C-alpha cells in the first residue's frame, strides 16, 4: 500500500469516528417546561421523548369550578436532518371535574386527547446557541373528544426565538397564531399569542426560567384575553435526561387560576 493510499485510509477512518461525536455535539434541549418554545432542533438521528407525568389546572369562575388533570401528555421529536425535526404529540388521558357553585352538582368526564403533528425547521443556529430562530407549523387531529380533545381539526404556526445574553442567561420569545376550533359550534377562529421570558443557568445541571404570556382568543361565543406568568426549574442529572417542575398563575379574570406540572424528558 502506497503512502497516498495510507493517507486516504487514515482520513476515511477519522471521518467515520468523528461522525458519532458530531451527532452528540449539541446539548440536550427539551421543550419542557415553560410557556416558550425553544428554537433548538433535535440532533439528526436522535429522538426526544418529553412527557408531562401529571398536569393539573384549576379554573374558578363565578358559576363553576373546573379541575383538569392530564396524565402522560407526551411530545416525541425526531431529528430528520441537521436543521429539521418531525414531531408528534398526544394526551393519552385527561380527566375534568366541574362543580356548579350554585347547586353543588358535580360533573366528571374522562377522555383521550387529540394528536398533534408538526415540523420544526431551524432558520438560524439549530443548536439553540447565539441568536436562534425556527419555524414550527402544526396541525391537530380530532382523535379525542371534548372537553380534553377539541372534536375537530386545528392548525397553527409558531416562530420560536432565543438569544444568548451570556453563558448563563438566555432570552426567549414565541409568537404564535392558530386556527383554533370553536368551543360550542362547528368551525375555527383566530387565536394568537406571544410568550417571552428569560432562562438562567444556575449550574451545569440546573436551570430556572421566568416567563409571561398574552393570549387573544376570538371565539365566536366570547372573545377573551388571558395573561399568564410562569416559573419553572429543570434538572439534567445526565446528558440525555431531564426532570422538571412548572407552575403557571393566571393574572386576569379570563385566565385559569393556576397550573402545576411535573415532567421527564429523555433523548435516545
What domains can you pick out in the chain, each with its CATH number? 3-267 (2.40.160.40)
CA–CA dist 157, 148 (Å, integer): 21
Backbone angles phi, psi at 105, to 5 degrees: -65, 145
Q: Which tens digit of pLDDT belongs to each residue from 73-82?
A: 999 999 999 9
**According to the model, what pLDDT value does residue 120 have?**
98
For every residue of 142-182, DSSP letters joined together read --S-TTTS-SS-EEEEE--EEEESSSSEEEEEEEEEEEEEP
Count the Cβ atoms, other than its own, within 10 Å of residue 266.
15
Please give the DSSP secondary-structure letter assigned to residue 119. Answer: E
User: Is the pLDDT assigned to residue 158 strictly greater than 60?
Assistant: yes
Percent of the chain having pLDDT more than 70?
Answer: 91
Q: Which tens digit of pLDDT belongs to each residue from 84-142?
A: 999 999 999 999 999 998 888 999 999 999 999 999 999 999 999 999 999 999 999 99
User: Is the pLDDT assigned to residue 19 strictly greater than 50?
Assistant: no
Alpha helix positions (H), the chain: 3-23
Alpha carbon of 204 to those of 28, 154, 168, 201, 240: distances in Å? 12, 39, 10, 7, 13
- Where in 13-83 does DSSP place strands (E)? 47-60, 64-79
Are 114 and 144 within 8 A, CB to CB? yes
Whether a cis peptide bond, with omega within 30° of 0, leads into 196 is no
Amino acid at each position: 500500500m502506497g503512502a497516498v493510499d495510507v493517507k486516504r485510509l487514515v482520513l476515511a477512518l477519522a471521518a467515520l469516528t468523528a461522525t458519532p461525536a458530531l451527532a452528540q455535539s449539541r446539548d440536550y434541549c427539551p421543550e419542557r417546561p415553560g410557556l416558550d418554545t425553544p428554537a433548538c432542533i433535535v440532533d439528526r438521528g436522535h429522538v426526544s421523548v418529553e412527557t408531562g407525568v401529571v398536569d393539573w389546572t384549576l379554573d374558578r369562575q363565578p358559576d363553576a369550578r373546573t379541575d383538569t388533570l392530564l396524565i402522560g401528555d407526551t411530545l416525541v421529536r425526531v431529528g430528520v436532518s441537521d436543521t429539521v425535526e418531525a414531531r408528534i404529540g398526544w394526551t393519552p388521558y385527561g380527566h375534568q371535574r366541574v362543580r356548579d357553585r350554585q347547586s353543588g352538582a358535580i360533573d366528571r368526564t374522562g377522555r383521550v386527547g387529540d394528536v398533534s403533528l408538526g415540523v420544526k425547521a431551524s432558520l438560524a443556529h439549530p443548536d439553540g446557541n447565539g441568536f436562534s430562530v425556527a419555524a414550527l407549523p402544526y396541525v391537530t387531529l380530532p382523535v379525542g373528544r371534548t372537553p380534553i380533545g377539541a372534536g375537530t381539526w386545528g392548525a397553527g404556526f409558531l416562530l420560536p426565538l432565543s438569544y444568548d445574553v451570556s453563558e448563563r442567561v438566555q432570552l426567549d420569545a414565541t409568537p404564535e397564531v392558530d386556527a383554533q376550533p370553536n368551543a360550542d359550534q362547528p368551525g375555527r377562529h383566530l387565536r394568537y399569542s406571544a410568550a417571552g421570558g428569560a432562562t438562567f443557568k444556575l449550574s451545569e445541571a440546573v436551570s430556572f426560567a421566568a416567563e409571561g404570556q398574552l393570549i387573544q382568543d376570538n371565539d365566536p361565543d366570547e372573545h377573551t384575553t388571558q395573561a399568564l406568568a410562569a416559573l419553572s426549574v429543570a434538572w439534567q442529572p445526565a446528558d440525555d435526561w431531564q426532570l422538571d417542575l412548572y407552575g403557571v398563575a393566571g393574572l386576569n379574570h379570563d385566565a385559569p387560576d393556576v397550573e402545576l406540572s411535573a415532567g421527564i424528558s429523555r433523548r435516545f
